[in-house]
Chains A and B, each alone.
Chain A
Amino acid sequence: MGKFITIGERIHCISPVIRKAMAERDPEPILKRAKEQLDAGATYLDLNIGPAENDGEDLMKWAVQLLQSNFDNVPLALDTANMKAIEAGISVYNRAKGKPIVNSADAGSRIEYIDLAAANDAIVVALCSADGVPADNDERMMHCQNMLERGMMLGMEAEDLWFDPLFLVVKGMQDKQMIVLEAIKMFSDMGLNSTGGLSNNSNGMPKHIRPIMDSALVAMCMMQGLTSAIVNPCDLRLMETIKSCDVFKNNTLYADSYLEI
């Protein structure tokens, strides 16, 4: 097994600084956040440009080229509700360090993101939900099967669909947490890759609690077979936990300096 793949989530237009930088095509704030995340150990960077209805294509191209030219063709997850913008981003994307990730498809209104990934030889995040939170794992696995079949019919390799169980917030859905973990085990038993917005579990919690909850959950998820997560790599406790779990899983060989590399 390969190492756990972290997708850095901090280039997101929900942040006022990033939104402004994207609007003004100001490289500095974006490059700063990219560097912080890569220095902290992120493999992929998520590039969320929001709905980007007006100039999405132009913006995505600019941002993809900006990041890849400054950071040795860093692999990227292209994240927007504007499908044309994702295609535009892929058209200028350099695959030397990994395929682009389309973020994200679901089993409902965003099912065509799978088609888009298939047509462009990309990886796709496949959220196992159609409308809102799935009722149970029967529903999750039904969506999983449907999306898997759709992708494979279109010529995708199964390994290029990264299934997202839909992480749920503890404050409000504490009783559903083990079900999410069981879904990850089911993906893993089928040999499938998986990912997701893991820090969703700690939404609404005090700032100093979140790294603790996220770290505990990532360890439990990795035990279940989760292969990737969309996280804040600048959370040191979380990254240390991931690196330690990679050692326990024999995904990486231990060395005394393992936390520094």
Chain B
Amino acid sequence: MPFNAKSMKFNANINTVEIGTGDKAIKIGGENTFPFYTFDAPTVNAPKVGIEISDMGLANEPDCIKAVYAGCESVVDMAKKAVTFEGVDFLALKLEGGDPNGENKPTEELVELAKAVAEAVDAPLVIEGCKNVEKDAELLSKCAEALQGKNVLLMSSKEENYKSIGASAGLAYNQKVGAESSVDINLAKQLNVLLSQLGVNSQAVVMNVGSAAAGYGFEYVISTMDRIKAAALQQGDNTLQMPIITPVAGDAWGVKEASASEADVPEWGCVESRAIDMEVATAAAVLASASDAVILKHPVSVATISKMIKELA
């Protein structure tokens, strides 16, 4: 008997969410198959890769990143340079300096910076908060207002602050809302339900379901993503059909494999290649599981993952 391949194309699909404006705008999601299953159905929108910079400039960055942005005198300069690297689909601006337990920069200052960056580049923009829920509620809401018309994605709408970020980004200013949970499938679903009960159009929501560096509780990340994608596609659960964006850089660059100096562990070799390896391994795994977009830090990681996507999607 001849072999007949059974297509595993589902009757449900992930929502398509557009970020940015004009020619550079990107579409994420839209798929009705598991990631890279091009033998089941053609890829709708290939996964997208973003590059991350911080409002802190190069102050907290390792030497190799300082070298990447050598010559840049401001965050805006860094932004302009970042979007020129090969494979960059969007820019992620992390406003970590807003953290009350850190630099505690005033909201106005950070919003001004976000506006300046948005003016300087035409790539789609993703704004990440400072991880403090109260500050993020204010900061991201103000950014949503200030960046009207730019169609940006505002990350970090969590269970504790989804009402303010959802209302500003999703309802008042017509931006995209990032629903963030930390490796908790039930909470990921709940947050989407709460946002939709608030009135936010589910087509304007992107999920960040949490991440970790490969090797650090990573199996929970992958099982969470797998379960979400299965619920969305196999069970047709429309409260989970939002595309997934995963900020990989923060976790990958934070672990000792990526940060321990060559002086401390000479047997591990070059710290820059270790960090890139960690970032690439983590990004490749979350893309193969469920992510529709990843946020990375090193241009080599971006180029590598972008090439992988081109080969597979």
Within 8 A of A (CB), among B136-176: none
> Nearest chain A CB to B162's CB is how many angstroms away?
13
By the criterion CB–CB under 8 Å, are A261 and B239 in contact?
yes
- The interface residues of chain A lying within 8 Å CB-to-CB of B185 are 253
A251 close to B (CB within 8 Å): yes
A257 close to B (CB within 8 Å): yes
Expressed in whole angstroms, the Cα–Cα distance for A257 and B192 within the complex equals: 10
Within 8 A of B (CB), among A233-261: 251-257, 260-261
By the criterion CB–CB under 8 Å, are B193 and A253 in contact?
no
Q: B45-53, B88-96, B230-238, B269-277: which one contacts chain A?
A: B230-238
> Nearest chain B CB to A143's CB is how many angstroms away?
31
For chain A, the bracket of interface size reads 10 to 19
Expressed in whole angstroms, the Cα–Cα distance for A255 and B186 within the complex equals: 5
A2 close to B (CB within 8 Å): yes
> Nearest chain A CB to B12's CB is how many angstroms away?
11
B197 close to A (CB within 8 Å): yes
Expressed in whole angstroms, the Cα–Cα distance for A26 and B48 within the complex equals: 53
Expressed in whole angstroms, the Cα–Cα distance for A147 and B3 within the complex equals: 30
Chain A, residue nearest B192 (CB): A255
By the criterion CB–CB under 8 Å, are A260 and B189 in contact?
no
Chain B, residue nearest A250 (CB): B235
By the criterion CB–CB under 8 Å, are A260 and B239 in contact?
no
By the criterion CB–CB under 8 Å, are A257 and B190 in contact?
yes
Is chain B's binding surface mostly helix, strand, loop or mixed?
A: helix
Within 8 A of A (CB), among B220-247: 227-228, 231, 235-237, 239-240
Which of A3, A251, A255 contacts B189, CB < 8 Å?
Answer: A255
B113 close to A (CB within 8 Å): no
How many B residues have CB within 8 A of the partner chain?
16
Which of A252, A256, A257 contacts B231, CB < 8 Å?
Answer: A252
> Which of A2, A3, A254, A256 gathers most chain B CB within 10 Å?
A256
By the criterion CB–CB under 8 Å, are B236 and A2 in contact?
yes
With A2-B236, A253-B240, A255-B186 known as contacts, the answer to whether A260 contacts B193 (CB < 8 A) is yes
Chain A, residue nearest B232 (CB): A253
Expressed in whole angstroms, the Cα–Cα distance for A253 and B239 within the complex equals: 10
Chain A, residue nearest B189 (CB): A255
By the criterion CB–CB under 8 Å, are B186 and A252 in contact?
no
By the criterion CB–CB under 8 Å, are A257 and B186 in contact?
no
By the criterion CB–CB under 8 Å, are A257 and B235 in contact?
no
B194 close to A (CB within 8 Å): yes
- The interface residues of chain B lying within 8 Å CB-to-CB of A261 are 193, 239
By the criterion CB–CB under 8 Å, are B193 and A255 in contact?
yes
Expressed in whole angstroms, the Cα–Cα distance for A251 and B237 within the complex equals: 10
By the criterion CB–CB under 8 Å, are A253 and B237 in contact?
yes
Which of B197, B227, B235 contacts A3, CB < 8 Å?
Answer: B235
- The interface residues of chain A lying within 8 Å CB-to-CB of B194 are 257
Interface string of B116-130 (1 = CB under 8 A from A): 000000000000000
By the criterion CB–CB under 8 Å, are A253 and B236 in contact?
no
Expressed in whole angstroms, the Cα–Cα distance for A254 and B239 within the complex equals: 11
> Nearest chain B CB to A123's CB is how many angstroms away?
15
By the criterion CB–CB under 8 Å, are A253 and B197 in contact?
no
By the criterion CB–CB under 8 Å, are B197 and A255 in contact?
no
Expressed in whole angstroms, the Cα–Cα distance for A42 and B193 within the complex equals: 19
> Nearest chain A CB to B61's CB is how many angstroms away?
38
Interface string of B191-210 (1 = CB under 8 A from A): 00110010000000000000
> Which of A2, A254, A255, A257 gathers most chain B CB within 10 Å?
A255
Expressed in whole angstroms, the Cα–Cα distance for A255 and B194 within the complex equals: 10
Q: Which 3 A-B residue pairings sit nearest by Cβ, starting from the closest?
A: A255-B189, A255-B190, A257-B193
| Chain B positions near chain A (C-beta within 8 angstroms) | 185-187, 189-190, 193-194, 197, 227-228, 231, 235-237, 239-240
Q: Can you give 29 A-B contacts (C-beta < 8 A)?
A: A2-B235, A2-B236, A3-B235, A251-B235, A252-B231, A252-B235, A253-B185, A253-B186, A253-B189, A253-B231, A253-B235, A253-B237, A253-B240, A254-B186, A254-B189, A255-B187, A255-B189, A255-B190, A255-B193, A255-B239, A256-B186, A256-B190, A257-B190, A257-B194, A257-B197, A260-B193, A260-B197, A261-B193, A261-B239
17 other A-B residue contacts (CB within 8 Å) besides A253-B227, A255-B186: A3-B235, A251-B235, A252-B237, A253-B185, A253-B228, A253-B231, A253-B235, A253-B237, A253-B240, A254-B189, A255-B187, A255-B189, A255-B190, A257-B190, A257-B193, A257-B197, A261-B193
